[in-house]
Every structure is written in structure tokens, then in C-alpha cells.
Amino acid sequence: MAHAEQLNWWKGAVIYQVYPRSFQDSNQDGVGDLQGIIQRLDYIKSLAVDAIWISPFFKSPMKDFGYDISDYRAIDPLFGEMDDFDELIEKAHQKNIKIIIDQVLSHTSDEHPWFLQSREDKTNDKADWYVWADARPDGTQPNNWLSIFGGPAWQWEPRRGQYYLHNFLTGQPDLNFHNPEVREAVLGNVKYWLDKGVDGFRLDAINFCFHDKQLRDNPAKPPEKRTGRGFSEDNPYAFQYHFYNNTQPENLAFMREIRALLDQYPGTVSLGEISSEDSLTTMAEYTSGGDKLHMGYSFELLTKDYSVAYIRSTVEQLENSMTEGWPCWAFSNHDVERVASRWNPKGIVDPQQCKMLVALLTSLRGSTCLYQGEELGLGEAEVAFADLQDPYGITFWPNFKGRDGCRTPMPWQADETSLHAGFSQTKPWLPVDKNHQAQAVAKQDTCADSVLNANRTFLHWRQQQVALLEGDIKFIDTDEPILAFWRKHEEASLFCVFNLSEQPQTLNLAEFSQTPLTACQGYTDKPLMPSETSLTLPAYGYFIAQANH
């Protein structure tokens, strides 16, 4: 039996998200691939991360770029072959890097064989594998449910003379999880990858697996409550309380089925993406009792609000409700504007703020998802309408430009002789942002004070800090723009303070600690001497110190 710390490697882990289409193109077709990830494993290892989460690489028509799966057990030729994945697993494990893969369980592609059979008639073997419903007497949709990508969540299928449910694109029909055969088949696909040796799963939209059997209408949401969590506020989806098209009580039993399967493979982990009307409460519920998901994360810190009050209240609310489970935090991912732009008041990239944000993210209690390029301080890319690929952005342009701006290729080279920043030698599927090329890995590698090297230094140091990996968190009363908290584990205590503004801030440390503090990490106006109690944090400065008991 493995030691407990080996089984619980994911607690306090930093998980590096790779969006494979945009990471590294190894075969010069303009799209990143599995061999590209293998080529960059040394780089990933240099970041002192514990695991790689790889966004979907399964066979797909790519209407939603892999989140519409037509074969859960096959590699899409765009990304390589199964031998490439086996090699990736082997070489990552040799470097002590875990591999987490996306599993998109709530829906399939409309080109999946299950759906192609299900849509034919109402009597075939897969007839009840998707959510089908009759039209209303006037021919309109069965209820008022809406798709996240705009418009009704129902699509007419003339072969059956019924509507099918799609919470996302029309090409992503929702499976009927009320059918036990569906759950068995879905878990069979999960088991396939466990047998391949993966270390865990990021479960996409996991609270969408079940729908309300009665198909009740969602109630309207008043305008002042229409705040987006990963979607545009002018999207009609924000006009409803989504009480019935997701997050149903039956889903808890399915979470237990997932956990029971993973428990047969010690050391594997489940990370659920959750977007509900009360995502923090759902996260706590889905990770409670030690018999459901290991971790959950939501869009709560992927919003525009960058205030001390919001960050503190969000974390504290989860801490108060998640008494048994384990949180996972992210500031960026493949679905939202990059944090370097989103949380800068001027919408520009400030290198010092980028360093501070990685330190803040990885100092919160829980595990962390770090999105590729976040370690470089990449901001949101400008993508012209003619270059857009994301159907979400195309639909809602120009008020909402979609997700392409955070999905542009990773910049590896900075010199002008390197085509497309070293991502590919041919035209990439999305253009490389010119500003990103100036922040390329090769350029930052040679600069001791670069965002990349500062983040490497911090993440390597963090790996040795039990208080940050496993400790409790207790916030300290401070005024905007200072966020401060203690992280404590047994005798190890760290005082963490972050200046979220572009103006210097001064603190009297004696107000926060009755014992002397020894500086460990940070960016301050000058080194803190043992006798000093006044600390000045420059713009976006931070300070982490050990309490000397």
C-alpha cells in the first residue's frame, strides 16, 4: 500500500493546464499535439508543478474544440495516436509529473454512435440514452431552458419528431443520466483511461449530468442578479435561475459511483468543474463525506471582481461550507479572459502584478490550476473577427469576443527569424499575439527577474512549505487594497500579505503578529530587518514571512 502522502499527492498540488491545440505543434500542421507536450516536459518540470491537466484530445468533429466527443476511447488524429499518449504518460511519470485528463461526461458530440442511433426512432436500443421530449401543442420547445451558447437548449430532430436537450452547442446533445445503462457506459469510458494509467480526471461541467425529469421551467432572474460566471452578462442564459437543467439531487449518487471507481485505483483524483446557481455550496456538497469528488473548482475567482472584499468573502464562504472536502482555485483557464488583463484596472499587463497573482493564487488553501502562459504573464490576445474560431465569440461579437483571446498559441521563441513564436512552422489555427512574442519563454529564460523566473522561484520554494501545502487559512482584517492571511500547519506559521493595487502601501507588522517575523518570499521596498515592524509594499508587492515561535 502506498503511503498516505503519495495517495494524497493532489492536496496542495499545482496543476498545470495544457490546452493542447495551442501548446506546441510537433508535426507542423498548425495545431498543437501530444508529441508537442512530450517535447516540452522539461519546461513543465522546471515550473515545479505536480501534474498536467490536458484539455480534450479525443476524437471529435471539433465544433467545440474537443468538448464534443465522438469517441471517448480514441485519440483525434489532430493530436496524434494512442502510442503518443502512452509515451506521454510514461515520460511524464519518469519526471514525477502526474497526468490528469478531461472527461466530458454530461454530453457527447452529435456524431457519437450513441446519438446517431438514438435519433433514428423511439424504439431502438439507445432511444432513451439522450434527453428527448415532445413539442408543446404549438410546436415550440418543451420548456424555457436555454443554452449557454445562446438561444433555446432544445433542437428539433425530424427523424424522431422530438426535441433533444443541449445545454451547450446544438452539436453537444445531453445524455440521459436517469438511464442506468448510460451511467454504466460512461463509467466504462472512465475506467478505460484509468487502465491506461492516468492519475485523475478534470470532470467538465459535472453538475450538468442530470436534468429535472418533470422538465419544469426555470424561473426568471431579475436584472440586478444577472452576473455572469464564465458567460457574457448580455447572454440570455443569465436571465434565468438554472434550477432545473442542472445540479439535480440525483447527481450526488453519481458522484459516489465515480468515487467508488476511482477508489479502485489508489492515488487517482477527481476534480469537478462546477457552475451552478450557488457554486460554492455545490462544491462543498460534491466533495463532502469522503465518498464523492476529491476536489471541486468553480468560476468564482474567474470573474471581473478583483477586490480584497470579494476574494476574501469567496474563499471564506467556501471554507465555512466545505468542512470535509478540498478546494481547488484558478484565476485563469481556457474559457475566460486571461487574468493578467482581466484583473488589471487598465486592462494591460503589469509584470509585477503577474508575479504577485501567481504567489497569491498558490498561497490560498487548496490546490491550484495554473493555465499555460499564466506563468509568463500573458495577457488576453486580440483576435480579429476574421480569425475567430470560437462559435461562442462569433455568436456574441462584438459585445463578447469569446474564448479565442485566451487560447492563442504559446510563445516559445522571441527572435524574428522564428516563425509563429516557435509554436509552429506553419500558420497556426489561431494567430500568435505580437505582444506575447515579446514575453516568449526563450526571452524570459535568460532574464533573472522575468515573470517566468520569479514564478519558478516561488513555486519551487512553495513545494517545501507545509503551511502552504496543507495548512489552514485565516484572513486578517485589512482595508482595501491589502489582502492578508495566516497559513498555519501545526508549528509552521506563514504570514501572507498582498498589495492588490498599483500604489505603494505601508503596514505596521506589530498589528498582525505578536512574534517576530522572518521574511521568506516577496517583493518589498527593501529587505525587512529583524527589528523593523514597518513594511512598505510597492505596487503589486507581496510579503510572506515565517512567525518565529
362 and 500 both lie in a single domain: no
Does residue 145 fall inside a structural domain?
no
Do you find a cis peptide bond into 481, omega within 30 degrees of 0? yes
What percentage of the chain has pLDDT greater than the value 70?
Answer: 96
- Mean pLDDT value across residues 167-180: 98
505 and 369 both lie in a single domain: no
Examine the pLDDT at 10 and tell me if it is beyond 50.
yes
What per-residue confidence (pLDDT) applies to 72? 98
Does residue 136 fall inside a structural domain?
no
pLDDT classification of 16: cutoffs 50, 70, 90: very high
pLDDT classification of 232: cutoffs 50, 70, 90: low
Q: What are the C-alpha distances in Å from 375 to residues 44, 116, 331, 352, 446?
A: 10, 42, 12, 12, 15
pLDDT classification of 229: cutoffs 50, 70, 90: low
pLDDT, greater one: 234 or 212: 212
What per-residue confidence (pLDDT) applies to 2? 45
What per-residue confidence (pLDDT) applies to 510? 82
Instruction: Give the contacts of 214 (CB within 8 A, at least 6 positions apart).
Output: 244
104 and 210 both lie in a single domain: yes
Q: What is the pLDDT of residues 49-69, one digit of tens each?
A: 999 999 999 999 999 999 999
Average pLDDT score, the chain? 94
Examine the pLDDT at 34 and tell me if it is beyond 60.
yes
328 and 270 both lie in a single domain: yes
What per-residue confidence (pLDDT) applies to 231? 55
For the beta carbon of residue 205, count every other beta carbon within 10 angstroms. Answer: 21
d(CA 18, CA 6): 23
Q: Quick one: how far is CA 253 from the chain centroid? A: 24
* Structural domain of 253: 4-108+179-461
426 and 352 both lie in a single domain: yes
Does residue 81 fall inside a structural domain?
yes
Does residue 375 fall inside a structural domain?
yes
d(CA 387, CA 429): 9
Instruction: Give the contacts of 316 (CB within 8 A, at least 6 positions apart).
Output: 475
What per-residue confidence (pLDDT) applies to 392? 87
* Single pTM value for the model: 0.96
300 and 183 both lie in a single domain: yes
What per-residue confidence (pLDDT) applies to 292? 97
- Mean pLDDT value across residues 102-117: 98
378 and 505 both lie in a single domain: no
pLDDT classification of 321: cutoffs 50, 70, 90: very high
Domain boundary among 401, 436, 461: 461
Does residue 147 fall inside a structural domain?
no
CATH number of the domain enclosing 510:
2.60.40.1180
Domain boundary among 461, 491, 525: 461
What per-residue confidence (pLDDT) applies to 4? 58
Q: Among this protein's residues, is 204 annotated catalytic?
A: yes
Pairing state between β 162-165 and 269-274: unpaired
Q: Among this protein's residues, is 199 annotated catalytic?
A: no
What per-residue confidence (pLDDT) applies to 212? 98
202 and 268 both lie in a single domain: yes
Examine the pLDDT at 389 and tell me if it is beyond 60.
yes
Set of cell numbers at residue 405 = 483571446
pLDDT classification of 399: cutoffs 50, 70, 90: confident
pLDDT classification of 419: cutoffs 50, 70, 90: confident
For 139-196, strand residue ranges (E) read 154-157, 162-165
What percentage of the chain has pLDDT greater than the value 90?
Answer: 85
Does residue 253 fall inside a structural domain?
yes
Q: What is the pLDDT of residues 246-293, one digit of tens each?
A: 999 999 999 999 999 999 999 999 999 999 999 999 999 999 999 999
Q: What is the pLDDT of residues 476-533, one digit of tens each?
A: 999 999 999 999 999 899 999 999 999 999 988 888 877 778 888 888 877 666 566 7
d(CA 199, CA 192): 12
Instruction: Give the contacts of 133 (CB within 8 A, at least 6 positions apart).
Output: 142, 143, 154, 162, 163, 164, 165, 215
CATH number of the domain enclosing 200:
3.20.20.80
434 and 478 both lie in a single domain: no
End-to-end CA distance of the chain: 36
- Mean pLDDT value across residues 73-82: 98
Does residue 122 fall inside a structural domain?
no
Of the residues 64, 157, 174, 273, only one is catalytic, namely 273
372 and 395 both lie in a single domain: yes
Examine the pLDDT at 324 and tell me if it is beyond 50.
yes
Of the residues 174, 204, 212, 374, only one is catalytic, namely 204
Examine the pLDDT at 545 and tell me if it is beyond 50.
yes
φ, ψ at 432 (rounded to 5°): -75, 130
What per-residue confidence (pLDDT) applies to 1? 33
245 and 319 both lie in a single domain: yes
d(CA 173, CA 197): 29
Instruction: Give the contacts of 238 (CB within 8 A, at least 6 positions apart).
Output: 221, 226, 227, 228, 231, 232
Please tell me the total count of domains within the chain.
Answer: 2
Examine the pLDDT at 415 and tell me if it is beyond 90.
no
User: Containing H/E element for 53?
Assistant: strand 51-54
What per-residue confidence (pLDDT) applies to 549? 64
334 and 481 both lie in a single domain: no
Domain boundary among 461, 491, 515: 461
pLDDT classification of 18: cutoffs 50, 70, 90: very high
Position 74: which residue type? A
pLDDT classification of 74: cutoffs 50, 70, 90: very high
Does residue 141 fall inside a structural domain?
no
pLDDT classification of 225: cutoffs 50, 70, 90: confident
Position 334: which residue type? H
